[in-house]
Amino acid sequence: MKRKVRFSLVYRDMWQSSGKYQPRLDQLVRVAPAIVRMGCFDRVETNGGAFEQVNLLYGENPNKAVRAFTKPFNEAGIKTHMLDRGLNALRMFPVPADVRRLMYRVKHAQGVDITRIFCGLNDVRNIIPSIKYALEGGMTPQATLCITTSPIHTAEYYANIAEQLIAAGAPEICLKDMAGIGQPAMLGQLVGMIKSKHPEVIIQYHGHSGPGLSMASILEVCKAGADVIDTAIEPLSWGKVHPDIISVQSMLKHAGFDVPEINMDAYMEARKLTQEFIDDFLGYFMNPSNKLMSSLLLGCGLPGGMMGSMMADLTGVMAAINANRQKAGQEPYSEDALLVKLFDEVAYVWPRVGYPPLVTPFSQYVKNIALMNLLTESMGKPRYSMMDDSIWGMILGKSGQLPGDVAPELKELAQEKGFEFTTADPQSNYPDDLDRFIKEMEQNGWDRGQDDEELFEFAMHESQYRDYKSGIAKERFNKDLQAAKEKDMQKKGMNLADIAAYKHAQSDAVVAPETGTVLYEVNGEGEAVASISPAIGQEYKEGERLCYIQNHYGQMVEVPACLGGKITEICVEQGHKVSKGETIAYIRRNS
């Protein structure tokens, strides 16, 4: 009888591996039915990691997005899963235990079935508490091994960690090959070692396509007994993302495995919608190089999931590095040349900071050390001159035990700074803190939300949540999107006058009928709500109210959205003054 292999769609990670943002709630609920109709997915990754922070950056409520996206999969009997960074939960730095415990209650209530718990250091002290919290909260804990290739990270090393996690109650193990640099032979050997002792344990493989090993790895782990394979769909599959479901299904079918069929009409619909989201606005925040595979990743080991943010960081620092080089009479780097320098520096730094598997947040820490080293080099300063507390926390052991030894020069630098290394349980450094957030929400009159989900969001992402509540996040995103669109047009050879003419020629100008203050959102007393302006791309029906103008007499004059359509430009922000006859916004009619 053929052995059955099931598939998971990592829709959330597809986007994170491609660029800065995730689809909006309205887009997620449109694509979910097509994913269901494809009929080949036993599981779908719906949230976790950067997902919730990204929604807050939009100025939108992430809890609504999670509930709306999980609902169609729950109804179809498809299990949903999320990514959980163990000690760091859903953020880049450690989380108090009471907030971690609350997360599982909230996520289970929101419709998430499985939590993929990982520690970037593979320190079981950071994973085992989450296994317990997940079981208490009614979720399935999938304990995770962060895969990399180094002299330390052998099949025996990983099998020993898996034993401890299974003994702690994990019914599933994930092999998280976040950079796609896990060697296929080792991965197959590891799966065989786990399955020989624990045939009942479900093993799921997650591998990025980056350096091109992932298809061989999938075949090896399936031959050794893996149960579930993570896949992607076009137009985001391959590159730094994950292999496409069509290719994986074909390979495994011809290798003799029992795999589900794919409804190709539904696949094409999901593919079309995904491309539509890219064209709508998400593509403005994607670096084209993330569509390409690169053998260079085998040397530096950086994961696919951080490529979007890394290229943005590289572009930001490049100007400063090149300015310093020009002052010193040196040739400026091209982006490609600087990228190779960065990869080389990561390869240099990585063993010296103890071989942490390069996954969030430690991939960002190591990348940041390398990037800052390049910057300080251009300034004539020594390596390791610019490292923040989080990076030092990793080096000193506050985040967990590093797999390898820290280099002598870093130990000496720590001693010079008066820092101490620690072997204490990492959670002991971060005491419970939920009461502080409860008290502040009560003082502000903020609702704790259904199943305490708003309390959780505030405690997990404190600064982003404040910006979301104030409306600053939405304003910032609107400006970033407008700037990204204009930059894209300039790349295509259009000057600023042409850009304005292009936008305005295809749009209706919403003109102020009176002089006064523009108010897009008001409360029951007619007062402005925070400083919230509409999002670029927000859609209006013909005659629907766009805003009010509060004139000099205090009267509220309603301003309709012309013939309807999508916002292409906001000329006057919430609460700002406008004169009669001035343009408030431009709205492009739907064709």
Domains, the chain, ranges and CATH?
6-285 (3.20.20.70), 297-428 (no CATH), 507-588 (2.40.50.100)
The ranges of the chain with pLDDT < 50 are: none
By CB atoms closer than 10 A (0-12, 13-18, 19+), residue 386 is middle
Exposure of 419 by Cβ count < 10 A (0-12 exposed, 13-18 middle, 19+ buried)? Answer: middle
The answer to whether residues 520 and 559 touch, using CB atoms and an 8 Å cutoff, is: no
Q: How many helices (DSSP H) and strands (DSSP E) are in the chain?
A: 22, 16
* Contacts for 44 with CB less than 8 Å, ≥ 6 apart: 8, 9, 11, 35, 73, 78, 79, 80, 81
* Per-residue pLDDT at 570: 87
What is the pTM for the complete model shown?
0.80
Contact 575, 519 (CB under 8 A): yes
- Sheet harboring 577-578: ordered strands across? 556-560, 545-550, 516-519, 577-578
The pLDDT of residue 400 is 93
Query: Looking at residue 501, what is its pLDDT?
Result: 65
> Alpha helix (H) ranges present in 281-352?
297-300, 307-327, 335-352
* Buried b / exposed e along 110-123 (16+ C-beta atoms within 10 A): bbbbbbbbbbbbbb
The answer to whether 290 and 309 are in contact (CB under 8 A) is no
Q: Tell me the three state secondary structure of residue 425.
A: coil
**β-strand pairing of 545-550 with 539-540:** unpaired
SS3 assignment, position 174: strand
DSSP string spanning 513-527? SSSEEEES-B-TTS-
Alpha carbon 369 to its chain's center:
21
Q: What Rg value do the Cα atoms of the chain yield, rounded?
A: 25
CA distance 170 to 168: 6
Q: What's the helix, strand, coil split of the chain in %, to 5? A: 50, 15, 35
How many CB atoms are closer than 10 A to CB 337? Answer: 12
Of 527, 519, 507, the C-alpha closest to 545 is 519
Instruction: Provide the pairing of β-strand 577-578 with 228-231.
Output: unpaired
- pLDDT for position 196: 98
Neighbours of 484 (CB within 10 A): 16
